[in-house]
C-alpha cells in the first residue's frame, strides 16, 4: 500500500479517507484505534495531519476499516471511500469463519451489532440432507450474512464452533437475539441483498434458550447427551449457563 502512482500520488490511506470512513460507519476515534491496535493519540495525530505515520500503522487502520466493510481506493485524480452495506463472506474454513463471527459479535466490533438472527437452512447433498446453522448480524450501517459456512452439529468439533458462537451471542446480544422456527431452503441461491430482505420479512422469535433454536432442526437433548458432558466443551459451558439461570 506504500506504492506510488504516477504524479507522486501515494496509495496509502489519507487522513481525509480515515475521517470519511469513520463517519460512514459511525465509529469514534477510540473505537477505530482499538480495532486497528494503535493508540488513540496516534490516530488523532494522523487525522489532524500531525507527524509522519509509519506505513505499517496506516495499513493497520485500513485493515480495520476493510473488516468493517469499507473499501478505500485512490488514484491520481480521486479518493474514494465505499461502504458495503450487505456482506456475505464466502465459504471458508469453519474455524476461521467462527473467529470472524466472534469478531463481528464482540464488544469491540466496528459493526456495532443491533440485532442477531440465528436460522437454519437446508444443504442438499447426493446422499444426505442436513441443515446448516446460519447468522444474520445487523449493525448500525451494514449487515453481515453468514450463510455459506458449514456450521453444523454433526460432530464434536463442529458443535463446539456453534456453541461458542451462541455463547457470544447470548453474552453480548441477549436482548437483541432472535431465531427462525423453520428450516429455510437454500438462501445462498439468492443475491446477498435479496437474501437479507427475505430474512427481514420473516417472522422471528426472541431466543431465550439455545434449545429453542437447536430443536428447530435437531435435538438439544441429543446434543447435550453427546457433547454436554465433555469437560471444556463450549456446549457444556452453554448448557451450564442456562442450568444456573433456572436454579
Phi, psi of 73 (to 5 degrees): -145, 150
- Our count of domains for the chain comes to 2
Report yes or no on 172 lying in a domain: yes
β-bridge pairing 205-206 and 86-87 = unpaired
pLDDT at 9 over 60: no
> What pTM was computed for the model?
0.87
- In a shared domain, residues 71 and 91: no
- In a shared domain, residues 141 and 219: yes
Report yes or no on 189 lying in a domain: yes
DSSP per-residue string spanning 4-63: B-TTS-B-SPPHHHHHHHHHHHT--HHHHHHHHTS-HHHHHHHHHT-S---HHHHHHHHH
- In a shared domain, residues 72 and 30: yes
245 by Cβ neighbours in 10 Å (0-12 / 13-18 / 19+) ranks as exposed
- In a shared domain, residues 178 and 230: yes
Per mean pLDDT, which range of 141-150, 167-176, 192-201, 234-243 is the poorest?
234-243
- Can you tell me the distance from the alpha carbon of 92 to that of 98, in angstroms, rounded to the nearest whole number? 10
The whole-chain average pLDDT of the chain stands at: 89
- Can you tell me the distance from the alpha carbon of 85 to that of 247, in angstroms, rounded to the nearest whole number? 42
Report yes or no on 4 lying in a domain: no
Per mean pLDDT, which range of 10-14, 221-225, 227-231 is the poorest?
10-14
Report yes or no on 42 lying in a domain: yes
pLDDT at 201 over 70: yes
- In a shared domain, residues 73 and 90: no
Last residue of a domain, one of 66, 83, 100: 83
Range of the domain at 36: 15-83
Amino acid at each position: 500500500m506504500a506504492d506510488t502512482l504516477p504524479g507522486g500520488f501515494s496509495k496509502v490511506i489519507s487522513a481525509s479517507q480515515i475521517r470519511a470512513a469513520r463517519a460512514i460507519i459511525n465509529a469514534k476515534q477510540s473505537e477505530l484505534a482499538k480495532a486497528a491496535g494503535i493508540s488513540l493519540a496516534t490516530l488523532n495525530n494522523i487525522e489532524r495531519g500531525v507527524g509522519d505515520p509509519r506505513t505499517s500503522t496506516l495499513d493497520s487502520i485500513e485493515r480495520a476499516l476493510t473488516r468493517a466493510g469499507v473499501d478505500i481506493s485512490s488514484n491520481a485524480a480521486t479518493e474514494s471511500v465505499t461502504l458495503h452495506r450487505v456482506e456475505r463472506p464466502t465459504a471458508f474454513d469453519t474455524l476461521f469463519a467462527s473467529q470472524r463471527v466472534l469478531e463481528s459479535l464482540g464488544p469491540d466490533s466496528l459493526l456495532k451489532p443491533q440485532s442477531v438472527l440465528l436460522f437454519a437452512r437446508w444443504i442438499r447433498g447426493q446422499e444426505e440432507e442436513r441443515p446448516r446453522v446460519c447468522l444474520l448480524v445487523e449493525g448500525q450501517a451494514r449487515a453481515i450474512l453468514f450463510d455459506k459456512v458449514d456450521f453444523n452439529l454433526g460432530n464434536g468439533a463442529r458443535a463446539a464452533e456453534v456453541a461458542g458462537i451462541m455463547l457470544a451471542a447470548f453474552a453480548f446480544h441477549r436482548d437483541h437475539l432472535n431465531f427462525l422456527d423453520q428450516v429455510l431452503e437454500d438462501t445462498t441461491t439468492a443475491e446477498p441483498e435479496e437474501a437479507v430482505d427475505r430474512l427481514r420479512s420473516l417472522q422471528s422469535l426472541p431466543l431465550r434458550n439455545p434449545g429453542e433454536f437447536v430443536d428447530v432442526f435437531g435435538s438439544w437433548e441429543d446434543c447435550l447427551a453427546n457433547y454436554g458432558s465433555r469437560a471444556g466443551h463450549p456446549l457444556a459451558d452453554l448448557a451450564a449457563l442456562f442450568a444456573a439461570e433456572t436454579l
